[in-house]
Structure 1
Amino acid sequence: MPERSRVTRQKLLVSGRRHFAEEGWMTARIRDIVADAKQSNDSAINYHFGSRAGLLRAILRIGIEAMEEQRQNEIDALAEKGIKVDKTLDVSTLSTLVIRPVADVLRYHEGVEFIRIVGQIGPYTRVQSALQNEVMQDTLLLMEVELLVDSIAQSIGETPGRYRIHNFLIALIAILSARALAIAAIRRKNTSDEDYSAEEIDDLLEESGQLRHDQFVEEVVSTLSAGLASGIPSNS
């Protein structure tokens, strides 16, 4: 891809992510996205992404790929302890592998916008269609969710297992979306030219009676992992 085209595409991605997060991916105006990307032609979205939905898929894919390094690091850390990540691994550990990297993206402005977009579409996505979606293909996230489905299905059956995973994912998305909205509200009150640091966001969240990031992630992991693993024997 020529450099100029690559730069334009990146600007459209950044602008699209911001407008989709703030205004909704179905209602944000293409004209505004293009204008904020400093482009003069409204057809730029179609040229680079094919459609509004194509832009959405590109944004989601980038958000998922941004978590891959952390996912690999956590798998490697278990391997160093002699623990193999497969469907025989206990549900609590598998669910932690799914949860922690996606919760950790809330440390970053781009991640907050990503979660706000996921929150718009996640509750309406069935597990099977999500696993088959192109934005998930060839990712560690897909592998981990599939292992989680298989692990639970071994204990309670495939249909009840998928239903439990569906509820787990809805709860995870809802919790992270609420957190993302709280962070976005804090950022909107910032009158400085510079964005708040992650530490400053933590301080302001704490002042408003909410947990700091690390505490929040631990609570999400603990609560959702326990709920998902309820009634399922541990393999450890």
Structure 2
Amino acid sequence: MPRPAAAPRPAITPRSAATREALYLAGLRRFAADGWRTARVRDIIADAGQGNDSAINYHFGGRAGLLEEVVRRGVARMEDERRADLRQWNSAPPGLAEIVRAVVSPLADLLDDDEGRWTLRVIAQLGSLAEVGRTVTTGPVADTALQDQLEMLVSAVTARCGSDLATHRVRQLIVMLTAELAARACDPPESSLRHGTYVIDLIDWFATGLARPAP
């Protein structure tokens, strides 16, 4: 049965682009604070200074479309750094710890500004839904450097403990990493470790756990 034709995207004008951006940022903040499933669309629209109740549907296709845009922008923001690592690895294949660093570090760098911290708080809401080989390599992650890095990570861990346990461990990394970074983004403790030390320790912790042989 043929699929119905996709609805045409709204024409982009300077005014509509500004409205879309205002809705995006308002939605990002509300999703971070209230949860992407439970944030009220009317609050997002009011925060963005808009009066049209259908604005989210018009610009993003609904709540799920706005969520996908949040993830897509977050992934895109890290893409240049991840591509640079992949190019460097063409001449020197990385070890497991280096792959973990390349996966973790760009995500941790989102802690540097408000938009990044809000993004981390939203991404963490999806961590428990991750399925290695499906949800973490499709949608906004498909055909990105992050997808390539995650596939390399699964391969490197598989060499140590077998494919089934490797898939389980990489999923654990995604769930724990996103939750940990979201907690730090939500309420950064004033007396916490400096960012660089925090990230190095986080990478070492995950790399050590992933490298364990099968029990």
Instruction: Answer yes or no: is 1:69 the counterpart of 2:96.
Output: no
Report the counterpart of residue 5 of structure 2 in structure 1: none
Q: Is the 8 A contact 2:96 2:157 kept in 1?
A: yes
Deviation at 1:153, TM superposition (A): 2.1
Partner AA of 1:169 in structure 2: I
Distance 1:224 1:157 in 2: 17
In the alignment, which of 93, 104, 110 is matched to residue 105 of structure 1?
110
Report the counterpart of residue 83 of structure 1 in structure 2: 92
Deviation at 1:124, TM superposition (A): 2.5
Report the counterpart of residue 21 of structure 2 in structure 1: 10
Q: Is the 8 A contact 2:29 2:118 kept in 1?
A: yes
Deviation at 1:38, TM superposition (A): 1.5
Distance 2:212 2:166 in 1: 12
Instruction: Answer yes or no: is 1:54 the counterpart of 2:65.
Output: yes
Q: Is the 8 A contact 1:91 1:151 kept in 2?
A: yes
Distance 2:86 2:148 in 1: 11
Q: Is the 8 A contact 1:92 1:228 kept in 2?
A: no
CA RMSD of aligned residues (A): 1.7
Q: Secondary structure of 1:66's match?
A: helix
Deviation at 1:72, TM superposition (A): 2.4
Report the counterpart of residue 175 of structure 1 in structure 2: 180
* 1:31-61: CA deviation from partner (whole Å, max 9, x where unpaired): 1111111111010100111110110000110
Q: Secondary structure of 2:70's match?
A: helix
Q: Is the 8 A contact 1:20 1:28 kept in 2?
A: yes
Partner AA of 2:92 in structure 1: I
Distance 1:132 1:72 in 2: 16
Q: Secondary structure of 2:38's match?
A: coil
Report the counterpart of residue 34 of structure 2 in structure 1: 23
Q: Secondary structure of 2:133's match?
A: helix
Distance 2:191 2:175 in 1: 24
Distance 1:83 1:20 in 2: 40
Distance 2:75 2:128 in 1: 17
Instruction: Answer yes or no: is 1:215 the counterpart of 2:201.
Output: no
* 1:71-101: CA deviation from partner (whole Å, max 9, x where unpaired): 223344555xx414xxxx3211111110110
In the alignment, which of 142, 149, 162 is matched to residue 154 of structure 2?
149
In the alignment, which of 127, 146, 171 is matched to residue 122 of structure 1?
127
- Given the two structures, how large is their TM-score scaled by the length of structure 2? 0.88
Distance 1:153 1:69 in 2: 27
Q: Secondary structure of 2:36's match?
A: coil
Distance 2:26 2:152 in 1: 35
Q: Is the 8 A contact 1:107 1:213 kept in 2?
A: no
5+ long unaligned stretches in structure 2: 1-11
Equivalent runs, 1:188-203 vs 2, <5 Å: none
Distance 2:18 2:205 in 1: 42
Q: Is the 8 A contact 2:160 2:211 kept in 1?
A: no
Q: Residues 78 and 159 of structure 1: is their aligned pair in 2 closer, same or farther, counting only changes over 3 Å?
A: closer
